[in-house]
């Protein structure tokens, strides 16, 4: 653990103007507040914030960030308050500590709630000050280093999984590759202990067998470049065990089949020298086609810049080589943290966190915790490609992105109105996968809408969240239109005309926000007619029976006395259908239509010949209706249901695509003739392209 004077000396070494007294005060404050608290390792608790602060000094971060690291657990785990910290260390430090504290509290929530809420608050806090993330990443890294002291295997695995899913990708996205690699390695050890032991063992075996081969290759590379007049540093390393395991899993190969275990880095004086070095290496050794990547001319979204290539050395040994300047190397390893070093004057690095703004928009559009987790994990994981607008604006997208993803990346409104695309001047389908350097022109149309089918090919979380939100809004409006028609039919049954005042009162009595929410509840069959009537005119529903009591009177002939029955939900038989019964031992008889496809699965059941009773009426029928995608069609269909006195029990949109929408509707009908009249009316309507009973 760093001693007080050692920590202060570290800060002063790169920031001579740092306030030594304030740093000392923060160190003493955290030691006093944590007092005799212990960690799982048995070490004093204050050793943890001190180590996190030490990690901040490794990155040469500003004084406020170092003090935040020292104080980040005091509010959560001691009697310290944000107000006290602000009084002693200033408003900037207090705000940073408050941001980290809120994240720490979220980690103690129940797991299902915590995952989504952690992300939501995390991204919002980061959008205000990225240093919150830098401290949190260092906090998580040190906790991972001591994870083995936690006795509960389940808790270790939970923390490791969260680290692998969230924190390591975030470290990568801000360019902190050293943090990312160590987090992945420590999490990998907990999540896949057998694979971890096998791969690390094989790497150790290779080291013992091949001795100084890595050093020999590094020397050969340096000599080849020196002969070309280039001043370089070269060193080699083994590939990261987790990256080896991931490659084995993706390619379905064994360790022995992985050929490029070794990787080498070449540091040059300038970007021009990087390209010269690349040419020398490609002429000295055979290069592997398809493995060259230029991240200097087109940097990654986190600012990463380097040339990547792969070569075949002696004895067919493959090796990866990364070529960069020394300045690029520092930025590549420490990412956005480099932009917060004291010498930068605290300039906020907005230019390299466009992906973070996308995450904030996803947070606003996601419907629930599951969607939020899906969309955000998509946004922080993927490899990137680069595509251009016709005017030359560059947009970075995940690999596999389509013109729809591109459109939403440019602007949400452009994505919503997209109807076609030109890629490099050629008309192409919206589902076409984009490639590096593509010029993409989006063809739009006013009043166009996102299509549900787009979810089958978009890859960005931003696009998926926006599409789902638009589809939900469209479906909500259409179901509310059905509810309006059904509401009018209910209102016609009341003795007096219903005005706006009565509707507002009904909205309030039923606990809805507004009239549209009421209509949506009626359209989605969440309210019964009696409930609506009573809310509009209290006392008016007295004596009005429930629809099932009023309309249903079903009897079945052919059953053994005392044996119960149910109407099958697969075929929804109604009086007038030819029917048959299936009976399994110990169960009631299940009534099916004679042509139900599910009968093929009832070979082992007892079959019972059945007929409807003479006065049977009232059952639930299901219809599928395909509507034209234009305003008012769903409302027109709702009018058909109301005119034919069919109560809507359930309505579900099963397909939402231009130019049609498909719905499945459960209706309370009297009998087969009643259901047939409704289907005929739907087929005769200009609103419907198709209608059929299911």
Note whether 495 and 648 are within 8 A (CB). Answer: no
- Percent of the chain clearing pLDDT 90 (strictly above): 32
Note whether 670 and 549 are within 8 A (CB). Answer: no
Three-state DSSP class for residue 671: coil
Most confident by average pLDDT, 186-195, 363-372, 660-669: 186-195
Note whether 407 and 423 are within 8 A (CB). Answer: no
Cis peptide upstream of residue 659 (ω within 30 degrees of 0):
yes
CB count, 10 Å around CB of 30? 24
Three-state DSSP class for residue 291: coil
State the Cα angle at 126 between 388 and 87, rounded to 5°: 150
Q: Helices (H) and strands (E) in the chain — how many of each? A: 28, 21
* Nearest alpha-carbon partner for 96 in 48, 120, 61: 61
Q: Which residue has the higher pLDDT, 294 or 494?
A: 294
pLDDT of residue 27: 95
pLDDT of residue 642: 82
Position 386 pLDDT exceeds 70: yes
Position 619 pLDDT exceeds 70: yes
444: Cβ contacts below 8 Å, ≥ 6 apart? 407, 414, 417, 418, 419
> Which strands, in side-by-side order, build the sheet including 619-628?
647-657, 660-669, 619-628, 688-693
Position 268 pLDDT exceeds 90: yes
Position 143 pLDDT exceeds 60: yes
Q: How far apart are CA 390 and CA 438, in angstroms?
A: 10
pLDDT of residue 363: 52
pLDDT digits (tens, 9 = 90+) for 440-482: 999 998 888 888 788 889 988 889 888 888 888 877 887 788 7
* Nearest alpha-carbon partner for 26 in 81, 76, 79, 63: 63
What DSSP letter does each residue of 3-57 carry, written as one string? -HHHHHHHHHHH-TTS-HHHHHHHHHHHHHHHTT-B-TTSSBTTHHHHHHHHHHH
pLDDT digits (tens, 9 = 90+) for 71-124: 999 988 899 999 999 999 999 999 999 888 766 654 544 454 445 555 555 566
| Per-residue tokens: 495 | 């003795």
What domains can be seen in the chain, in order of their start residue? 4-191 (1.10.3210.10), 196-342 (3.30.460.10), 352-459 (3.10.20.30), 554-612 (no CATH)
pLDDT of residue 117: 52
Position 342 pLDDT exceeds 50: no
* Nearest alpha-carbon partner for 296 in 319, 313, 271, 315: 271
pLDDT of residue 156: 94
The DSSP letter of residue 497 is -
Position 346 pLDDT exceeds 50: no
pLDDT digits (tens, 9 = 90+) for 558-583: 877 767 888 898 899 999 999 998 88
The mean pLDDT value for 536-553 works out to 60
Average pLDDT, the chain: 83
The mean pLDDT value for 670-690 works out to 89
**Strand 565-567 to 233-238 pairing:** unpaired
* Nearest alpha-carbon partner for 327 in 368, 270, 372, 382: 270
- Percent of the chain clearing pLDDT 70 (strictly above): 85
The mean pLDDT value for 202-206 works out to 84
Task: Give the residue numbers annotated as catalytic, written as ranges.
Answer: 76-77
3-state helix, strand, coil in the chain (%, to 5): 55, 20, 30
| Per-residue tokens: 682 | 């739907």
pLDDT of residue 389: 85
Using CA atoms, how far residue 599 sits from 265, 519, 557, 559, 633, in Å, is: 67, 39, 20, 18, 36
| Per-residue tokens: 561 | 């006395």
Give phi and psi for 668, each to the nearest 5.
-80, 115
Radius of gyration of the chain (CA): 33
pLDDT of residue 370: 53
pLDDT digits (tens, 9 = 90+) for 7-57: 999 999 988 999 999 999 999 999 999 999 999 999 999 999 999 999 999
Sign (positive/negative) of CA torsion 149, 150, 155, 159? negative
| Per-residue tokens: 209 | 């067998």
Three-state DSSP class for residue 338: helix
Tokens 């299911």 label which residue?
694
Q: How far apart are CA 201 and CA 208, in angstroms?
A: 11
Note whether 607 and 581 are within 8 A (CB). Answer: yes
* Nearest alpha-carbon partner for 321 in 297, 300, 298, 292: 292
Which pLDDT band, with edges at 50, 70 and 90, does 352 fall under? very low
pLDDT of residue 621: 92
pLDDT of residue 344: 41
Position 147 pLDDT exceeds 70: yes
Position 343 pLDDT exceeds 90: no
Q: How far apart are CA 84 and CA 75, in angstroms?
A: 10
pLDDT of residue 125: 58
Using CA atoms, how far residue 294 sits from 221, 278, 436, in Å, is: 20, 11, 11
Q: How far apart are CA 186 and CA 541, in angstroms?
A: 66
| Per-residue tokens: 14 | 């790169």
Least confident span in 1-10, 125-134, 218-227, 240-249: 125-134
Q: How far apart are CA 544 and CA 530, in angstroms?
A: 7
Q: Which long-range contacts (CB under 8 A, 24 or more apart) does 199-205 make?
A: 199/241, 199/244, 199/245, 199/255, 200/241, 202/255, 203/238, 203/241, 203/261
| CB-side neighbour CA atoms (13 Å) of 645 | 8
Position 279 pLDDT exceeds 90: yes
Q: Which residues, in sequence order, are bridge partners of residue 286?
A: 312
pLDDT digits (tens, 9 = 90+) for 403-453: 999 999 899 899 999 999 999 888 999 999 998 778 899 999 888 888 878
Which pLDDT band, with edges at 50, 70 and 90, does 397 fall under? confident
């Amino acid at each position: 653990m760093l001693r007080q004077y050692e920590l202060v000396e570290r800060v002063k070494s790169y920031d001579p103007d740092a306030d030594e007294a304030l740093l000392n005060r923060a160190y003493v404050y955290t030691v006093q507040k944590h007092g005799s608290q212990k960690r799982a390792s048995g070490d004093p608790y204050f050793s943890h914030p001190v180590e996190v602060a030490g990690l901040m000094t490794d990155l040469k971060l500003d004084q406020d960030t170092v003090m935040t690291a020292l104080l980040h657990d005091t509010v959560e785990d001691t009697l310290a308050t944000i107000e006290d910290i602000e009084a002693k260390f200033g408003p900037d430090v207090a705000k940073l500590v408050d941001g980290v504290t809120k994240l720490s509290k979220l980690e103690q929530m129940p797991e299902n709630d915590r995952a989504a809420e952690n992300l939501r608050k995390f991204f919002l806090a980061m959008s205000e000050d990225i240093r919150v993330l830098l401290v949190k990443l260092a906090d998580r890294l040190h906790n991972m280093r001591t994870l083995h002291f936690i006795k509960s295997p389940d808790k270790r695995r939970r923390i490791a999984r969260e680290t692998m899913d969230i924190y390591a990708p975030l470290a990568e996205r801000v360019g902190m590759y050293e943090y990312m690699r160590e987090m992945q390695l420590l999490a990998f050890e907990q999540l896949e202990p057998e694979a971890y032991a096998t791969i690390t063992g094989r790497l150790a075996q290779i080291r013992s067998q091949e001795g100084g081969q890595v050093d020999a290759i590094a020397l050969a590379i340096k000599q080849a470049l020196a002969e070309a007049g280039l001043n370089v540093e070269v060193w080699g390393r083994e590939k990261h065990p987790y990256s080896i395991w991931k490659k084995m899993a993706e390619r379905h190969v064994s360790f022995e089949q992985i050929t490029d275990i070794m990787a080498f880095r070449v540091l040059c004086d300038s970007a021009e020298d990087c390209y010269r070095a690349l040419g020398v290496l490609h002429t000295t050794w055979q290069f592997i086609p398809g493995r060259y990547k230029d991240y200097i001319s087109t940097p990654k979204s986190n600012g990463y810049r380097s040339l990547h290539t792969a070569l075949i050395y002696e004895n067919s040994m493959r090796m990866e080589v990364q070529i960069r300047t020394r300045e690029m190397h520092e930025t590549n390893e420490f990412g956005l943290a480099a932009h917060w070093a004291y010498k930068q004057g605290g300039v906020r690095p907005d230019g390299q966190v466009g992906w973070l703004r996308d995450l904030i928009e996803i947070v606003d559009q996601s419907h629930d915790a599951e969607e939020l987790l899906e969309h955000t994990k998509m946004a922080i994981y993927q490899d990137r490609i680069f595509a251009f607008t016709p005017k030359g604006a560059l947009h970075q997208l995940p690999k596999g992105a389509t013109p729809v993803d591109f459109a939403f990346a440019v602007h949400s409104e452009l994505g919503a109105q997209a109807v076609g695309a030109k890629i490099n001047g050629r008309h192409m389908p919206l589902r076409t996968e984009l490639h590096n350097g593509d010029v993409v022109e989006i063809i739009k149309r006013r009043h166009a809408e996102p299509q549900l089918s787009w979810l089958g090919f978009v890859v960005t979380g931003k696009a998926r969240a926006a599409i789902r939100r638009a589809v939900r809004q469209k479906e909500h409006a259409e179901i509310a239109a059905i509810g309006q028609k059904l509401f009018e039919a209910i209102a016609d049954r009341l003795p007096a005309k219903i005005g706006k005042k009565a509707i507002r009162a009904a909205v309030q009595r039923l606990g809805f926000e507004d009239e549209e929410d009421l209509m949506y509840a009626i359209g989605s069959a969440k309210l019964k007619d009696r409930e609506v009537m009573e809310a509009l005119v209290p006392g008016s529903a007295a004596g009005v029976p429930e629809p099932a009591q009023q309309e249903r009177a079903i009897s079945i002939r052919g059953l053994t006395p005392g044996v119960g029955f149910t109407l099958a939900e697969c075929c929804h038989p109604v009086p007038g259908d030819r029917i048959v019964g299936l009976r399994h031992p110990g169960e009631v008889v299940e009534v099916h239509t004679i042509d139900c496809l599910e009968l093929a699965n009832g070979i082992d059941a007892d079959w019972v010949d059945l007929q409807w009773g003479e006065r049977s009426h009232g059952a639930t029928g299901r219809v599928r209706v395909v509507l034209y995608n234009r305003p008012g069609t769903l409302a027109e269909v709702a009018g058909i249901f109301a005119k034919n006195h069919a109560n809507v029990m359930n309505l579900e949109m099963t397909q939402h695509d231009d130019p049609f929408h498909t719905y499945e509707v459960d209706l309370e009908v009297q009998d087969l003739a009643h259901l047939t009249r409704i289907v005929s009316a739907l087929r005769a309507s200009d609103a419907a392209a198709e209608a059929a009973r299911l």
